[in-house]
Structure 1
Amino acid sequence: MKKIFILSAVVFLAACGGKKDPKTELADLKKQQADINAKITALQATVGADSVKSTDVSVAVLKAGTFTNYVQIQGKIDAQDNVMAFAQVPGTITAINVKPGDHVSKGQVLVQLDASVLKQNIAAAQTKADLSKVVYQRQKNLWDQKIGTEVAFLTAKATMEGDQKQVDVLRQQADQYRIISPITGTVDQMDLKLGQSISAANSIRIVNADNLKVKADVPESYGSQINTGDVVKVLVPDAPDSLNAKLSFAAKVIDPTSRSFAVEVKLPQRKGIRPNMTAILKIVNYQNSKAISIPVKAIQKSEAGDYVYVAVNGIAKRTNVKAGATYGGITEILSGLKEGDQLVTDGASDIEDGSKIKIVKSGN
């Protein structure tokens, strides 16, 4: 009825304006009718939109930042200097100079074995060597005065040198009757008793706990991504402790049995960290310093691909995106979003493209 009334008014006004060519007049009237119908449609859409209930959503204003992807591997803390000290010959313990927990220096005698017979042999050999040296000195004095024969002089010299070498050999053998610390560190394990007969199977563990490292095995699939010098975050659950470091070693050869390669991270001196503790290595294998990253929960999937909703003037706009790597619930977006976009993070499942929305929470 409203359309008929408006059209009638237009016709009446046109009639009052004087006579026109019928064709021209008809064309003008149709144009006016089309303009009026368009205005009516727009007003009806506005009135109808005002009556549609909006959906409450939360949005995040997107900013470019650093996206980091990690390879997470479990490893074990070990001492860089973790050695077993033992006697090179069997014997009976005559002296124990240290106990577990003692700090020792490199070359320090830890345990003495019975070498009494060998000591007697050394004393006898030393006496003989001393006599040979006196004989040599006398022969040399005579030879310097051109007295005696050259053969006698050379024989005395050879005898003296041979006897001294024999003493040196016996002293080296005597050293084998001692357990000596090969490094500076702490006695960590020792189960020896005075008077006990021991062999090379009985040893003392010496650990330098000031120089620790983490050892781990990385699957061969990451062989092209991980190298010596890569940044790594070390987590020690039982300490608890964490620190940033770099890979000090990454093996070039793949173990044929485990299909993995070894990596190591040197650790600074730190309280509470002990050898054989479990450590988690988070090795950086990809980083983008200018990435648009969003929560993975904001991404929805369809047959056409991944998409998200962006808030534009109170309306939800469906936007197709190309996702990259995902770590820790955050996904890198390669295309489809830009800085400043208002990404719908909560409430996206209750809306569709073109839905009216109300932003109840906004963040970064």
Structure 2
Amino acid sequence: MAMNLKLLGPAVGLFLTACSGSDSSADQATPPTALVTLAQATQGSIAETVKLYGVAEAGPAGSIALSAPTEAIVARIVAPVGTRVTRGQLVVQLSPAPNTRLDLAKASADARAADAAYARAQRLRKDGLVGDADVETARAAAQSADVTLASLRGRAGSLALTAPAAGFVASVANNPGDLVQAGASIAMITNGSGLRARFGADPTVARTLSSGAQIKIAGTKGRATVSVPIQSIDPVVNSNTRLASVFTTLPPSLGIGSGEVLQGEVATQTQSSAVTIPYQALLDDGGQPYVFVVASGIAHRHDVQTGPTGGDRIAIVKGVSSGDRVVTDGGTALEDGMKVRTK
């Protein structure tokens, strides 16, 4: 006997709807599971470190300043910064300043007048018109004027500033046409010896450092990271960078060249018996640091109080115990109480 499908239609629809509703409820009853990476909190000492940035430069023993012997004008810069120079090679050519030319002209006139007075005194002494004391006075005046003239001529004649030793031109302080005072440093020659590093440090950080402390210099160009001792600390703040200067030795074996940019890391304080976790496990909620600690496959949010940071780990003063497993990857998608599985 044929069945009436029209009559069966509503019943079939109700059955399918009931089945569909049952599947949906089953899906909703299954809690979400997050895929995460875990790491263990450990106990030990941790040194808080800060990064410093600096540059390699010639130390006092490896630098030679070329100075203006007298007031002069920079005529030519023959060897600009970075030029390799040999001993005696011309670096900067100066020309006499107007005041220098006037001083030289006056000294020449004074020397001629003093020499003439001395000669006249000698003639008068032969005629018995003056005494020996007068002759001696004229002689001393003539000698003084001649020495002054020779000194000015010597300085005016040494306006070609040459390299006293082979090396590189590290800096040139002036431009052609500049007027420079006597004794002013015009150029700096470095011979590659006595190389040091100058790091800029926040003044508060610089005050915590001491000579002999080690700075780790990051390796570049195929070099490994090395540790070098702090040589000295200059607490005077640079007016441009607002940083103090920290100097370290740079052994020639490192192969670091003058002018090379460097990155260093130095410990400022050490905390012993601290619970530490990977820094990447730390999350932030409006200024409140927190982590997810996983126990029995469930992630629990723990608000924490942090301590010193050293390298890729951070000390946790409160909120995590040694041996706890914390989420290091996937934590941003977690909620408190969510089930997790590890990668």
- When normalised by structure 1's length, the TM-score is 0.50
Counterpart amino acid of residue 153 in structure 1: D
Counterpart CA distance in 1 for 2:289 and 2:167 is 62
Q: Distance in 2 between matches of 1:216 and 1:91?
A: 32
Q: Distance in 2 between matches of 1:317 and 1:204?
A: 65
Inter-partner Cα distance in structure 2 for 1:315 and 1:261: 49
Secondary structure of the 1:210 match is coil
Corresponding letter in the other structure for 1:165: S
Q: Which residue of 2 aligns with 1:309?
A: 293
Partner of 2:40: 60
- Which of 278, 282, 286 is equivalent to 1:295? 278
| CA pair 56-209 structure 1, distance change in 2 beyond 3 A | closer
2:210: which partner in 1? 229
Identical positions, percent: 14
Give 1:270's aligned residue: 252
Counterpart residue type for residue 291 of structure 1? A
Q: Write the distance in 2 (CA, Å) between the matches of 1:309 and 1:58.
A: 9
Q: Tell me what 2:243 maps to.
A: 261
Q: CA RMSD in A?
A: 5.6
How many aligned positions are there?
263
Which secondary structure does the structure 1 equivalent of 2:193 belong to? strand
Deviation at 1:295, TM superposition (A): 0.8
Aligned to 1:229, the other structure's residue is in SS state: coil
Output the CA distance in 1 between the equivalents of 2:306 and 2:75: 71
Shift of 1:265: 1.4
Indicate conservation of the 8 Å contact 1:316/1:356, yes or no: yes
Shift of 1:209: 2.8
Report the equivalent of 2:149: 170
- Please list the CA deviations of residues 260-313 of structure 1 after superposition, one character each: whole Å capped at 9, or x if unmatched: 2241414334253233221224343443244322113344667996244366xx
Deviations 1:49-71 (A, max 9, x none): xxxxxx9986537231223221x
Task: Determine the structure 2 residue equivalent to 1:282.
Answer: 265
Q: Which has the larger radius of gyration?
A: 1
Aligned counterpart, 1:186: 166
2:86 to 99, 102, 106: 102
Q: Does 1:83 align with 2:65?
A: yes
What residue identity is the alignment partner of 2:144? Answer: K
Distance 2:94 2:340 in 1: 90
Structure 2 residue corresponding to 1:69, chosen from 49, 53, 62: 49
Supply the distance in 1 between the matched residues of 2:137 and 2:256 (Cα, whole angstroms).
59
Report if aligned partners of 1:100, 1:189 keep a CA contact under 8 Å in 2: yes
Distance 1:236 1:180 in 2: 41
TM-score under structure 2 length normalisation: 0.53
Structure 1 runs not aligned, ≥5 long: 1-54, 94-98, 140-147, 191-197
- Superimposed CA distance per residue, residues 2-23 of structure 1 (whole angstroms, 9 cap, x where no aligned partner): xxxxxxxxxxxxxxxxxxxxxx
Looking at structure 2, the residues matched to 300 and 322 of structure 1 have their Cα atoms a distance apart, in angstroms, of: 12
Q: Which residue is equivalent to 2:131?
A: 152
Distance 2:87 2:251 in 1: 16
Report the Cα offset of residue 239 of structure 1.
Answer: 7.7
